[in-house]
Structure 1
Amino acid sequence: MEILIVEDEREIAEIIQECLVAEGFSCCVCHDGNAALQLFAELQPDLIILDIRLPGIDGLEICTQIRQKPVANDPYILMLSSRGEEIDRIIGLSTGADDYYIKPFSPRELVARVRALLRRRLRESDRLGSIKTKSFTIDLEQHCINRHLDPESTEQLDLSSSEFKLMALFIKHPGRVWERGQLIEKLWGDDFFGEERVIDTHIARLRKKVEPHASKPIFIQTVVGVGYKFEDL
C-alpha cells in the first residue's frame, strides 16, 4: 500500500518515512502543499500523513480539495499538528481527515495508527468484493485478478484455484512475512499431507504469471530462512 507523507520539517518527514519503510510500507515524501496535490493525483495513495502547517497551501485546504475530487481510490488522511486544542481537532476532522495526531509524537504509536487505518481499508475492500494495489486488482466475487500494465490497460491473470487463493492472501496482507507452514494452513488447512517445500513449487508457478521476470521477482519476495512476502512498491 502506498503512503504519501506531507511534512515541511524534513527531519520529521525522514523519521516518519524510516519508521514506515521499516514496517514494509511504500512511502513518498513531499514538503509543501502544491507538491502534495500533484503527487496525490499521480500516486493515488491509500493513506496520506498530512501536516496542517505547510508552505503554500496548508493541510486543511489540501484535505478539503482531496475530499472534493472524484477518485477511485479515496485515501485515508492522518492529520499532524503541533497544536492540540479541541477546536483545531474539530476543524481538521471536519475537513475530511480520518485521524488527528499531535506532535511531538511517538513513532511506534504513529505506525499503529497507520496500520489501524489501513486495516479498515482492507475490511471495507472485502465488503465491496475487490481490493486494489498499485499493480493489481482482485475481484473476490468474480474470483479473478487483473494486473495493471499501464494507467489505461490491464490483463486478467490465468490462475488456478490454489494460485488465486495464494495471490489473494498476499494482496490482502502486503508486507507481511509468511512462513511456509502458515501459507499451507491458509490454502489447504488440515487436508494437507506432505512436505512444506511444496509451497515453493506453487510460488514458482505463481511468479511466472504475475512477475515481469520470474527469475527476478519484485512482487512475491523470498525472505531467506523464513518464507515469503508480497510487496507492490
Structure 2
Amino acid sequence: MPHRTETDPHGFKRRGVLFVLSSPSGAGKSTIARKLLAADSQLEMSVSYTTRPPRPGEEDGRDYHFVDLEQFRAMVSNNEFLEWAHVFNHRYGTPKAHVDAILSSGRDVLFDIDWQGAQQLFQLAGGDVVRVFILPPSLKILRERLVNRRTDSPDVIDARMARAEAEVSHWDGYDYVLVNEDVEQCYESVHTILRAERLRRSRQTGLIGFIRGLNKR
C-alpha cells in the first residue's frame, strides 16, 4: 500500500516544492513565513548565510548563518550557494547542501529571498520553484510599518523605501502576487497556494505508474 500523508494524499511520491516568499521590507513576509513554518510540519526554512551583523534577538544558525566577507567570498568561489545577492551593503546566500538535505528527506523548502535570489533560483530549478510576492496596501502604510518597528534610523528607512519601490517593479517575475491588507487572510492565501502546488500534476512523480496500473486494479 502507498504511504499517504497530508501533503501526498495519494501516496504518489511527489517532487519537493522550492517555495519562495519575497516582499519589500516591512510588508509582512517574515511574519507569514513564521506562521507557515509553525503550521506545516512538511516545510522547512532555508537558512541563508549573510555578512551583516545579527540584529537583537537573532540567533546564528536559526535566523541566519553569520559569516565575514572573506568566508562568504570563499563560499561563492567554491560554488556552495544556489543563489546569492548583494543587499544594503551586505551579502546573502542560500546554501546548496542544506536545501538538498531537506528535499532528500521528502520535505519542502521555504525561501525568504529577494527578487534577485528568486530569479537565480528559478533559472537553476525551474518547475520546482513557486514564487510568491507580497505587496503592502500602499507605500505610505509600508513606511508607517517600518517606522513603528523602531529598529531602523530615518536614513535606513529612506533607503528601504527606495529599495521597496525598485523591488515592487519586479512583481511580474512571480507566479502569485498578494496584497497584505490583513496578515491572517494573506497567510491563508499563501498556505492555500502551497497546498495546491504540492498537488500539481508535474510534481506527482508516481502518477504515471498509477495510471498504467489502473486496468489491473
TM tier relative to shorter chain? 0.3 to 0.5
Structure with the bigger percentage of strand: 1
Instruction: Name the TM-score, length of structure 1 as normaliser.
Output: 0.37
> Which structure has the higher relative contact order (CA within 8 Å, separation 6+)?
2
